[in-house]
């Protein structure tokens, strides 16, 4: 790892200072140890700015949006729609109404599967995925296959946990998929896929492209127009925002051509006993009362993260990842599950010989360190790798190099604790 330059130090300081904005980072865990939160790929923490934005809405101007002709509804509607503008700018959407608020990345993918999928995918059509997808980007397509009889093909990863452009190209050539849906960054391997290149290759083969950007949008600058992706999905809670809200971005031509998903209030233009007509974007896909305070909280989170600077965040996470990856690889009996740090973001998954991931996690928790253990909602990937469970440390901007070191030191203790020592069970 290269030493920090003066300009690195300058960009790092606001990130270190940001810890003070996160009340929860000051607490201790069950054992009394100070919290070291390294489970950010599962969900991130909330800064005061987000908590206050939602509190401000509920305390001062909350009412249902869109239909009310009264002060509170006007104010809530303005704040809700302003949040859409913030989200659209955050991901570089061409127009605000290409941003649909959903319950999260999972709801976003299900919306695409149920509407675009049901309309455009038929028997024998192929949907191309990668083996490293999260269940949210597998199961909705399996459900679609059950409904319409399409086929699902998985791109394999190589021994370095990567997928080459040639493999992508060959699969698109061979299967001629209608849709290529892949993750921008794997939640287990940490691999950052070349979204723009793969999208271009897919478009050259007339495939529609959906990007699961849940692990990308919070961690690096994303521009959906630069990617040229047709659909992009992500969740609010992974970018310091509230739970229960996420985004479905779609190109307007596609969203316009899709039938609505959930039916109800707000998504209609007119309803008669004989039928209904559909509202224009984005209302068409936002039936019912939307997550109003959550949208306002998400916008506050995006503004907060933007002020810190996504390039700074990416650099800092990368340095922590490099340090953790190198330390883990140097430990006897520890195997890193994922590519080298130059190919990944702030996620390091690993296995420890003879120690189950749950015991690793429980042992680390005793030192205050929160990591995730299990299959991380990627059972096909774990089956492909031939492992039942892995442990995962995932970093965000508020983590520090000291925390990386504490994690490594604690892991060495855990290894020692569970090492065989010739114990004998008491004979009765």
Partner 1 sequence: MSPSEPDIYAEHVLDHYEDPYNRGPLDTATHTDEGKNPLCGDVVHIDLKMDDDGKIIEAWFDGDGCVISQASASMLMEKIDGKTMEEIQAFTADEMLELFGHPLTPNRQKCCLLSWRILQGALKSPVAAGDDDVESNGARRKFGGPTLGEET
Catalytic residues: 377
Q: How far is the CB of 355 from partner 1 (least distance, A)?
A: 8
3-state secondary structure of 395: coil
Sign of CA dihedral 403, 408, 411, 417: negative
Residue choice 262, 389, 401, 412 for contact with partner 1 (CB under 8 A): 389
Contact flag: residue 386 with partner 1 (CB under 8 A): no
Q: How far is the CB of 351 from partner 1 (least distance, A)?
A: 12
**CA dist 169 → 164, 195, 197, 225, 249 (Å):** 9, 13, 10, 22, 25
The residue among 272 and 423 lying less far from partner 1, judged by its C-beta, is 423
Contact flag: residue 34 with partner 1 (CB under 8 A): no
Q: How far is the CB of 416 from partner 1 (least distance, A)?
A: 10
Q: How far is the CB of 385 from partner 1 (least distance, A)?
A: 12
The residue among 99 and 414 lying less far from partner 1, judged by its C-beta, is 414
Helices 292-308 and 48-56, axial angle in degrees (round to 10): 150
Contact flag: residue 13 with partner 1 (CB under 8 A): no
The residue among 104 and 363 lying less far from partner 1, judged by its C-beta, is 363
Contact flag: residue 375 with partner 1 (CB under 8 A): yes
User: Strand pairing of 179-183 and 208-212?
Assistant: parallel
Q: How far is the CB of 420 from partner 1 (least distance, A)?
A: 6
Q: How far is the CB of 424 from partner 1 (least distance, A)?
A: 5
Nearest to 239 by CA among 298, 193, 309, 184: 298
Q: Which stretch binds partner 1 (CB under 8 A): 57-65, 130-138, 152-160, 374-382?
A: 374-382
Contact flag: residue 423 with partner 1 (CB under 8 A): yes
The residue among 351 and 394 lying less far from partner 1, judged by its C-beta, is 351
The residue among 384 and 418 lying less far from partner 1, judged by its C-beta, is 418
Residue choice 295, 357, 370, 411 for contact with partner 1 (CB under 8 A): 357
Contact flag: residue 43 with partner 1 (CB under 8 A): no
For the record, the structure tokens of 199 come out as 């999208």
Q: Using only the alpha carbons of the chain, give its radius of gyration.
A: 23
Nearest to 394 by CA among 18, 39, 37, 12: 39
**CA dist 52 → 143, 301, 307, 383 (Å):** 39, 11, 17, 43
Contact flag: residue 31 with partner 1 (CB under 8 A): yes
392-421 binders of partner 1 (CB under 8 A):
417-418, 420-421
75-104 binders of partner 1 (CB under 8 A):
none
Nearest to 193 by CA among 164, 220, 232: 164
CB distance 50 to 297 below 8 Å: yes
Please tell me the distance from the alpha carbon of residue 299 to that of residue 191, in angstroms, as a whole number. Answer: 27
CA angle 145, 147, 153 (to 5 degrees): 5
Q: How many residues bind partner 1 (CB under 8 A)?
A: 27
For the record, the structure tokens of 4 come out as 């920090």
The residue among 273 and 421 lying less far from partner 1, judged by its C-beta, is 421
Q: What's the maximum distance between 2 C-alpha atoms anywhere in the chain?
A: 79
Q: How far is the CB of 134 from partner 1 (least distance, A)?
A: 15
For residue 116, which phi and psi values (nearest 5 degrees)? Answer: -60, -40
Q: Which stretch binds partner 1 (CB under 8 A): 39-47, 115-123, 368-376, 398-406?
A: 368-376
Residue choice 151, 359, 384, 400 for contact with partner 1 (CB under 8 A): 359
The residue among 177 and 363 lying less far from partner 1, judged by its C-beta, is 363
Q: How far is the CB of 332 from partner 1 (least distance, A)?
A: 18
Sign of CA dihedral 218, 223, 226, 229: positive
Residue choice 139, 309, 356, 401 for contact with partner 1 (CB under 8 A): 356
In DSSP notation, 145-197 reads HHHH--EEEEEPP-TTS---HHHHHHHHHHH--SEEEEESB-TTT-BB--HHH
Residue choice 78, 354, 405, 409 for contact with partner 1 (CB under 8 A): 354
CB distance 137 to 166 below 8 Å: no
User: Which positions touch partner 1 (CB under 8 A)?
Assistant: 31, 354, 356-359, 362-363, 366, 373-375, 379, 382, 388-389, 417-418, 420-428
């Amino acid at each position: 790892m290269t030493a920090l330059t003066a300009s690195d130090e300058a960009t790092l300081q606001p990130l270190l200072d940001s810890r003070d904005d996160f009340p929860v980072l000051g607490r201790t865990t069950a054992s009394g140890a100070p919290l070291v939160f390294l489970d950010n790929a599962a969900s991130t923490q909330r800064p005061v700015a987000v908590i206050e934005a939602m509190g401000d809405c509920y305390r001062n101007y909350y009412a249902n949006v869109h239909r009310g002709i009264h002060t509170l509804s006007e104010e809530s509607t303005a704040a809700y729609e302003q949040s859409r503008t913030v989200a659209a700018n955050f991901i570089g959407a061409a127009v605000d109404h290409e941003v649909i608020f959903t319950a999260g990345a999972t709801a976003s993918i299900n919306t695409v599967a149920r509407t675009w999928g049901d309309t455009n995918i038929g028997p024998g059509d192929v949907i191309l995925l990668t083996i490293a997808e999260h269940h949210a980007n597998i199961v909705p397509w399996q459900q679609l296959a059950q409904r319409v009889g399409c086929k699902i093909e998985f791109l394999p990863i190589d021994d370095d946990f990567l997928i080459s452009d040639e493999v992508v190209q060959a699969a698109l050539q061979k299967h001629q998929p209608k849709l290529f849906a892949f993750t921008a960054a794997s939640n287990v391997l940490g691999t950052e896929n070349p979204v723009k290149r793969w999208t271009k290759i897919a478009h050259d083969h007339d495939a529609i492209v959906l990007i699961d950007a849940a692990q990308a949008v919070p961690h690096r600058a994303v521009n959906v127009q630069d990617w040229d992706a047709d659909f992009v999905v992500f969740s609010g809670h992974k970018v310091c925002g509230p739970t229960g809200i996420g985004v479905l971005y779609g190109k307007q031509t596609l969203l316009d051509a899709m039938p609505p998903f959930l039916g109800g209030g707000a998504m209609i233009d007119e309803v008669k006993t004989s039928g209904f007509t559909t509202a224009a974007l984005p209302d068409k896909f936002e039936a019912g009362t939307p997550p109003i305070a959550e949208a306002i909280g998400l916008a506050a989170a995006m503004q907060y993260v933007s002020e810190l600077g996504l390039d700074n965040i990416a650099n800092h996470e990368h340095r922590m990842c490099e340090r953790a990856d190198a330390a883990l690889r140097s430990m006897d009996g520890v195997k890193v599950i994922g590519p080298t740090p130059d190919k990944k973001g702030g996620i390091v998954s690993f296995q420890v010989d003879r120690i189950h991931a749950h015991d690793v996690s429980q042992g680390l928790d005793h030192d205050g360190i929160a990591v995730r253990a299990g299959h991380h909602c990627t059972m096909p990937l774990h089956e492909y790798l031939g492992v039942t469970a892995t442990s995962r440390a995932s970093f965000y901007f508020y983590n520090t190099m000291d925390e990386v070191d504490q994690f490594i030191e604690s892991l060495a203790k855990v290894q020692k604790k569970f090492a065989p020592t010739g114990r004998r069970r008491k004979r009765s």
